[in-house]
Structure 1
Amino acid sequence: MKIKILFLSFASLVLPACGSMQTVDGPGMIMNYGSTMEGRSADIRAITFPSGKRMIYGLTVTGGRKPNWRHAVGTTEGMSGDTRGVPEWLDFEWREPSYPGLEPEDFPSKEAYSKAVAEKYSKLTIKTQRVLISSRIPPEVIQEVTHSRSHIPKGQHLPGKMLWIYFIWTDDGIKFRWEMSCDKPCVEKGGGDEIN
C-alpha cells in the first residue's frame, strides 16, 4: 500500500545551521512518521511537548504491512522540539480511520461528502500515547550531533552528523526508533523499539 508523503520541511534544521562555529543548545532532530497498520491510517490531531506547548496537526499517515519498519517511512519534517535540544517526551493524539477512506466521487455533492466525512470522524476514538525520547538516545550520540552542528565547515550548510527520529504507528501503538546519520567515514548508530 502506497505511503502518502505529505510534506517535507527542513527549515528548522537547515536555517539555524547556516554558519560556522555557531552556538547550539542541542542536536536538533529530523522527525519521520510512518505506519505499518493495514486498512487504517493514523490521523494525527496534535503533539504536546513537555513545556505544555501543543502543536495542532493535520497529518494523515498511511501504510500497510511491510518487510521491515524502514519501508513504512512516510512524512518527514525537520524540527528540534521546544528548544534546540531533544524533548524528554512527546504526547500524541490521533484517530485511526479506515484506509482507503471515503472518496468524493462516491457522493452526489461536496456537501454530502463533507457531511459523511464529519460523521465518520466524529465516531472515531481519540487515542493518546506518550513516547519517551531523550532517555532512549545515548548521551554520547546527542553530544556527537550537537558538536557537529556547532562546527559546520565554512561554505557547508548541513552538519556532518544528524539525528533522525522515527515514529511508526503499528497495531500495538506508536513505536520509536532513532538513528544518527553521518558523512563517511563514520560509524552510523541507531536503536529503539523492535518493530515486527
Structure 2
Amino acid sequence: MPTGVHLRDVREQLFGAAERLLMTGGPSALTSRAVTTEAGVAKGVLHRHFDDFDAFLADFVVDRATRMDAQARALTGKAGTGDVAENLAEAITAVFGSVAVAVVALVTFRDDLRRRLRETWPAGVPVLTEAVVMIEGYLAAEQRLGRIQNVDVEFVAPMLIGAGHLLFADRDTPPPAGAVRRMTGTVLGQKH
C-alpha cells in the first residue's frame, strides 16, 4: 500500500478483516499478516494502532460484544408483542448466526487474549455475557408486562445462551429454526 494514503477508520477496516477471517478460517486463520492482507493495508498499520496483536484481538472482541447493544434494544422493543419464545429464538439465532460462536472459539484458542480480556472485561466471554444481559433485559420487560411468570430471569438468561451456544457450536449450517424455538419454549416451561 502506498504511504501517505489516508485510511478511513482503520480500526473498523482491520476489525472487519479479522471478522471475515475468523468466520471463514477459524481462530488459527488470525495472524497479524493475514488481517492486514485481508484489510488491504501494510502490516505496520496494525502495529501503529495497537500495542501488539493480542491487544488488537482484545479490542476486536470487545468491539463485537458492544455491538450487541443495538440487538438488545431491538429485542427489548419487542416486549409485549409476538410470542416470547419465538422472539427469544430469533434473538438467539441472530447472536449465534453472527461472529459470536467464532469469538468464543477465538477466546478459548488464545491464552494471551483470555488473560488480556480478564484485565478489562468484568467476567465471562464478552460476546456471551452481553447476550445474557440482552436476554435478561428482554425477559424482565416481559415479566413486568405479565407475559411470563415464575421465571427466574437471572438464571434463565444464561441457560438460554448456553443452550443456544450448544445448538450452534461446531456446525457447518445453523440448526433448524424449529429446534431453536423448541429450546426457548422448553427453557421457559412452555408446551410445544
TM over 0.5: no
TM-score normalised by the chain length of structure 1: 0.25
1 or 2, which has the higher strand percentage?
1
TM-score normalised by the chain length of structure 2: 0.25
